[in-house]
Amino acid sequence: MVVKKRTRLSAEDRRKHLLDCARDLIQENGVSGFTMEALATKADVSNPLVYKYFDTRLELLQELWTREYERFSTSIREEMYSAKNFEDIVRLFVNLNFDETSMGGIIHILGAQPEVGEVTREKQISNLSKAGNFLVKTVSETYYLTQPQAVHVISLASGASQAAARHYARDGGDRKKLVEDTISFVIKGVEAFKA
């Protein structure tokens, strides 16, 4: 009989491992199916060890949300600021809308839990404000629109993108084609507005 040797992780690595296992479990079973006991089993540790790192299920979920939200927002920020042109920016946000409505990602799952997301509420508001300001500035400069015109155009474009994403989530179809059609619609709409 082969005995599996346990690996002793540093406190920081153990915490990361528990969060990674929690993320995987939640993606597999949803938040309602997530328990600290299931986490202990998945992580191959004892129940008391899980509670040594996280006093409550809510504390663990909030820390997981904070970590995943920070990763997500950093990734978006990097993509946004490295975009070469307005079409790249539109592509980023249209894909985000489609990703958000397709459900199943950890950001979508945890973000739907009010008690979990509240720990980053101020950060979320700040990030939305920064993204909005970036979009307004980009549209204003690219299409020579006034700030109120740019805000209006962004609102229309956002609505179109979200509606297309909901349509895809509800009715399915060729995602790649729907994304490209939505990008084309948004770009042509913005260009028509400036005329």
Q: How many structural domains does the chain have? A: 2
Is 26 part of any domain? yes
Question: Which pLDDT score is estimated for 103?
Answer: 58
Query: What would the two tokens of residue 76 be?
Result: 């978006």
Cα gap 187→90, rounded to integer Å: 8
Residue 48 lies in domain? 10-55
Say if residue 42 is in the same domain as residue 133: no
Q: What's phi and psi for 30, nearest 5 deg? A: 80, 170
How far apart are the C-alpha atoms of 43 and 91, rounded to whole Å?
Answer: 37
Dihedral angle over CA of 177, 180, 184, 189, nearest 10: 90
Residue listed under structure tokens 């956002």: 158
Which of 61, 97, 92, 90 has its CA nearest to residue 79? 92
pTM above 0.75? yes
The low-confidence residues of the chain, meaning pLDDT below 50, are: none
Q: Counting beta carbons within 10 angstroms of the beta carbon of residue 62, is it exposed (0 to 12), middle (13 to 18) or buried (19 or more)?
A: buried
pLDDT computed for residue 149 by the predictor: 93
Does the residue 177 lie in any domain? yes
pLDDT of residue 193: 79
- The tens digit of pLDDT for each residue in 156-192 reads 999 999 999 999 989 999 999 999 999 999 999 999 8
- Among 73, 40, 70, 71, residue whose Cα is nearest residue 57: 40
The contacts of residue 91 (CB under 8 Å, 6+ apart) are 179, 183
The pLDDT, as a whole number, for residue 169 is: 87
Q: For residue 67, tell me if it sits in a domain.
A: no
Task: Provide the pLDDT for residue 158.
Answer: 93
Do residues 48 and 133 share a domain? Answer: no
